Amino acid sequence: MAIPGPSNIPDRVLRAMSHPMTDIYEGSLVDVSDRILEELPVLAGTEGKAFIIIGNGHAAWQMAIDNTMSAGDKVLVCESGPFAVIWGYMAEKSGVDVEVLPGSTREPVDVDALQSRLAADTDHEIKAVLCVQTDTASSVRNDIPAMRRAIDAAGHPAMFMVDCIASLGCERFEMDAWGVDLTVGASQKGLMVPPGLGFVWAGDRALAAYETAGLRSGYTEWADRMNPSAHYEIYAGTPPVSHLFAMVEALDMISEEGGLPAIWTRHEMLASAVWAAVDAWAAPDAIEFNITDAASRSTAVTTILTGSVDAGRLRRTARYQAGLTLGRGLGDFVDRAFRIGHMGHGDAPSILGTLATVEACLLAMGAPLGGSGIEAATTAIGGYLR
């Protein structure tokens, strides 16, 4: 399976989930939960406060908005594909005034446009800038430090909120060092745990915004989660027992591999194989990168445009004849793109098998190819082996 989330779950994480139900007031579950909450800030590179919400990425988006915004507050959503915009729709439904900074689905957020828009907001009506680090549909990676510099250059006090749902555990991300005020994540991609845990990391400015946030409400509210009188209040009710045992196993795997730097390097290796293959396959009106600038490509997912090649047929051939599930094009990309997820639990055999299978399907379809991607991909992987 090579879809960009939910990603493949390692066997040992699946086995950890089969832990019997246990006392939720004391003992192993509480130990595991404490350890996760202690280690989550490290994952995001922050000394801020981490919150877990039982739910998917949307739940984490909702928690972020509810606890930092009031009805009528304005946020600037930076478009670079659909995902930040969908976060904006959700905020709008909660009563937030959303402005979209228009962007391309083939390029990262334009930092000059961001700076100009913020500089024009002389009354500082914009309370927060929202973006994704990686847009999973377009596979762009935004330059988060450059966006921070643009906010600073405009002299604007807006909070900076970043969705790392597709990138956490795949790409370098340093919340505090990069001046991010709030980060959103989820369990089902780079973190190798099934969908069901959403994460929000709040820095000092987000926690200060919480003090006056008018949208704070029942389930997503930080109050009891921050100062629980009983452990289960961290989860606003019964903890997600199986997911917590899974999460702690995934954290063990990350640390056994050598921690985040080792994980980031492995993802660079996987991405380099995909990019080398796509470069070799590329041909006019056929296979082509969606993100042409290599420096702006995500190391977690690659979106490949297919021109005259029928992307639906490619996916069906791969899935039903060759046993490989590829990601479909989303939004603007339906039917004219496919995506390869290389996030989370991947290695050289899995990515080389994926690429070779895609190539076999393209050949079977008679797709025009610039060349074979296999040698290019193996050479790329070889560059990482010692």
Ligand X SMILES: Cc1ncc(COP(=O)(O)O)c(C=O)c1O
Which residues of this protein are in contact with ligand X, per CB under 6 A?
Answer: 5, 56-58, 83, 132, 136, 163, 165-166, 186, 195
> What gap in Å lies between CA 203 and CA 220, rounded to an integer?
17
DSSP-derived secondary structure for 80-91: SSHHHHHHHHHH
- Residue 289 and residue 140 in contact, taking contact as beta carbons nearer than 8 Å: no
In the complex, the smallest distance separating the C-beta of residue 160 from ligand X, rounded to whole angstroms, is: 16
Q: How far is the CB of 57 from ligand X (least distance, A)?
A: 2
Residue 159 and residue 200 in contact, taking contact as beta carbons nearer than 8 Å? no
Q: How far is the CB of 235 from ligand X (least distance, A)?
A: 18
Token pair recorded at residue 204:
């000092």
Residue 170 or residue 362: which is nearer to ligand X going by CB?
A: 170
**Cα–chain center distance at 364:** 33
Query: 339 forms bridges with which residues in the sheet?
Result: 303, 327
| Pick 58 or 216: Cβ nearer ligand X | 58
Closest approach of ligand X to the CB of residue 121, in Å:
25
Tell me how far, at minimum, the Cβ of 198 lies from ligand X, in Å.
7
Q: Which is nearer to ligand X, 161 or 280 (CB)?
A: 161
- Considering the complex, what minimum distance in angstroms separates the CB of residue 10 from ligand X? 19
Angle made by CA atoms 314, 317, 322, in degrees to the nearest 5: 125
Q: Which two tokens stand for residue 382?
A: 């070889």
Listing DSSP states for 96-108 in one string gives -EEEEE---SSS-
Q: Which residue lies nearest ligand X, judged by its C-beta? A: 57
**Cα distance between residue 49 and residue 5, in whole Å:** 26
Cβ closest to ligand X, residue 131 vs residue 352? 131
For ligand X, give the closer residue by CB, 135 or 359. 135
Q: Toward ligand X, which CB reaches closer, 163 or 171?
A: 163
